[in-house]
Structure 1
Amino acid sequence: MSAAKPSAGPRLLLPFTPAELGGLPEGWSAAVWDGTGEEPAGPRLAAVEFFVIPYTFTRTALDLLPRLPGLRVLQSLSIGVDDLLPHVPPGVTLCNATGVHEASTAEHAVTLLLAALRRIPDLVRAQQAQQWVTGFRPALADRTVLLLGYGAIGAAVEARIAPFECRVLRVARTERQSPRGPVQPLGRLPLLLPQADAVVLTLPLTAETRGLVDAAVLARLKDGALVVNVGRGAVVDTDALLAELRSGRLAAALDVTDPEPLPPGHPLWTAPNTLISPHAAATTSAFRPRALALVRAQVSRYAAGDPPANVIVTGAG
């Protein structure tokens, strides 16, 4: 992809200031808008070629897209772009934020896994009641963990649980060999599920994955198995999961839900053996420096006329 000829007005629309990025390529200028406050004025948008959409993008940010006639690259600050894909204008290249969120999301997945297994919420409630509650609790050691969705985040989860002396099963769309062992194809999932003490979901939301973890999938899990979801809520059939949780057969630790945000009064809030966090896996202190590094690199590539990294949708040209 070659960059367009210089034109009047800012060619970049960024949620970070040029100073935060360590400067811009020579001859380039940027309008700065982080998704809050007043958006850039219409005439200033005509020359924008490269838009880094704010991380917590709003309806206003989406409405801005058709008003960027020169847009060529849309850079997301999320790995998952299912919410953004329907709004990408024709001919625009969409890039995601691979490399920004894997560490934080994997940390959170392991946190949920350990907290749910060790029943930390019960201990918190006991502390609040000033009760000294003892007894044996499950450990991660000697357990089998199935990683469903073995991309960058799934691999990062495995790297963090490897020292816990557990067995890992890896499942992705296609069969392959990873540095840590074989990755099984999705078609073998029914045979692998009964072996799992915990399933960690890191799947993106696509037509193929929506509702993938349904009643039939959950039924193949052994009694007492734990479902951890740090991918997308709609990958799991909420009603089917609720039925298993209410029966006491399964447990869940969810960073994402369907619906989301989870409204007050929703039965998931009070389901037994359920730990919920508010889609908080990626929003950590690691986000900003890694996002800045990604944007800096992507802008440099574009200004040099090189193709950007992390392309999800390729624009024309």
Structure 2
Amino acid sequence: MSPSSARPAGPPARILLPYPTERIGLPGVAAELWDGRGEGPPRRVLDEVEFFVVPYTFASAAVPLLARMPRLRIVQSLSAGVEGLLPAVPPGAALCNARGVHDASTAELALTLILSSLRGLPGFVRAQDAGAWQGGSFASLADRTVLVVGHGSIGAAVEERLVPFECEVLRVARSARTAARGPVHALADLPALLPRADVVVLTVPLTDGTRGLVDAAFLAAMKDGALLVNVARGAVVDTTALLAELRGGRLSAALDVTDPEPLPAGHPLWQAPGTLITPHVGGNSSAFLPRALRLIRAQLERFLAGEPPRNVVSPPAG
């Protein structure tokens, strides 16, 4: 964490936020507002901004503004992944991610995708649309082995929600360590772990080290009939390699993120057998806003007190 990210003594900071400070819980703090729409704040505002909270889902609109903020000290993202912002943050400014904000929402969706895929819900919905009573026997999550690839805060939240389902959980992160519920294996251990897993859940950030991590060799190491669940970033998975496995019927997939994204009409993933797709909605639920407001308040309080921020990402944590 760079000492330069703490605010020195001097004139009041210029703060740029997507929400009024009254809503954040700091009614006495003056701030400019920008919700991500339009061309952005006027130059007189950008020239003075020291603390900038990037509006959620508007990172691409915020990127060109960063070079126009000469006094910028902190960029607070409201996303867990910051790969789109990281290259644009100017020297001397700290980039902070939204660690903790999306854990509950994303973990809930991961469990939804797992259970929906295993228990055949997509087929039931299609049968309902057709007015057909279509039964059968489907896989249970109980007694299965689930491999969580990316045991950060979201991966740990996924594990906590898996525990009541009577399944075994294997954990992988960038480096080995011990977590509250057991050992966390290193990425290098994946070849030995993948053949054991009935379900593989991806929760890693997108970095140079994880881009294309799920390639043909990764998929080939998964056991026959296994389910791949991606709530991370689409580019973590080699789409061509995944399509080959899905078309062959050896694997199935539940994807909240894709590469490319948004997934265009006519893309073969839409029609791939055994595939459930949701449109990158893992973090965007009613749980987002209260957690986002708490994070912004905590970071602003630290900044205004001259303390360095938390959740500094350089490079993104694994």
TM-score category of the 2 structures, normalised to the smaller one: over 0.9
Does 1:163 find its partner at 2:153?
Answer: no
Which stretch of the first structure deviates more once superposed, 247-256 or 171-180? Answer: 171-180
**CA distance in 2: counterparts of 1:38 and 1:191, whole angstroms:** 50
1:309 aligns with 2:313: no
Q: Distance in 2 between matches of 1:127 and 1:135?
A: 14
Cα distance, 1:60 vs structure 2: 3.4
Pick which of 50-59 and 303-312 moved more. Answer: 50-59
Which residue of the partner structure matches residue 234 of structure 1? Answer: 235
- Please list, as runs of the form range in 1=range in 2, the aligned pairs for 1:74-153 lying within 5 A after superposition: 74-153=75-154
Which of 3, 7, 19 aligns to 2:7? It is 3
Q: Spell out, residue by residue over 1:76-111, the C-alpha distance to the aligned partner (whole angstroms, 9 max, x if none).
A: 001110111111111111100011001100000000
Letter of the 1:283 counterpart = N
Contact 2:203 2:230 in 1 (8 A): yes
3-state secondary structure, aligned to 1:105: helix
- Tell me how far 1:18 sits from its aligned partner: 1.3
CA contact (8 A) 1:7 1:47 kept: no
CA positional deviation for 1:23: 2.2
Distance in 1 (alpha carbons) for counterparts of 2:172 and 2:66: 36
> Which residue pairs with 2:182 in the alignment?
181
Deviation, structure 1 residue 4:
3.7
**For 1:193-243, what per-residue CA distance to the aligned partner results, in whole angstroms no more than 9, with x for missing partners?**
111101000011111111111111101111110000000111111000000
The answer to whether residue 18 in structure 2 is matched with residue 15 in structure 1 is: yes
Cα distance in 1 for residues equivalent to 2:24 and 2:270: 41
Per-residue deviation, 1:3? 1.7
Q: Which moved more, 1:56-65 or 1:88-97?
A: 56-65
**Matches of 1:59 and 1:77 in 2, distance apart?**
13
Moved more, 32-41 or 45-54: 32-41
Distance in 2 between residues matched to 1:170 and 1:77, nearest whole Å: 26
Question: How far off its partner does 1:46 sit?
Answer: 1.9
TM-score when normalising by structure 1: 0.95
Paired residues, number: 311
Instruction: Give the secondary structure class of the aligned counterpart of 2:84.
Output: coil
- SS of alignment partner, residue 300 of structure 1: helix
Q: Is the 8 A contact 1:13 1:33 kept in 2?
A: yes
Aligned residue type for 1:284: S
**8 Å CA contact 2:200, 2:227 repeated in 1:** yes
Give the AA of the match of 1:46. D
**1:275: which partner in 2?**
276
Mapped partners of 2:59, 2:209: distance in 1? 26
Alpha carbons 1:255, 1:279 under 8 Å: kept: yes
Using the TM superposition, name which of 276-285 and 52-61 deviates more: 52-61
| Cα shift at 1:7 | 3.7
Runs ≥4 residues deviating over 6 A: none
Contact 1:230/1:254 (<8 A) preserved:
yes
Q: How far apart, in 2, do the equivalents of 1:37 and 1:83 lie?
A: 19
State how far apart, in whole Å, the 2-side matches of 1:84 and 1:38 are: 18
SS at the partner of 1:145?
strand
Distance 2:73 2:260 in 1: 33
Q: What is residue 224 of structure 1 aligned with on the other side?
A: 225
Does residue 194 of structure 1 match 2:198?
no
Distance 1:14 1:164 in 2: 41
Query: What is the deviation of 1:6?
Result: 4.2
Amino acid at match of 1:21: I
Which of 273-282 and 40-49 deviates more? 40-49
Give the RMSD, CA atoms, in angstroms. Answer: 1.4
TM-score by length of 2: 0.95
**1:244 & 1:290 partners in 2: Cα distance?**
38
SS of residue in 2 equivalent to 1:19: helix
Aligned counterparts of 2:140 and 2:261: Cα–Cα separation in 1: 30
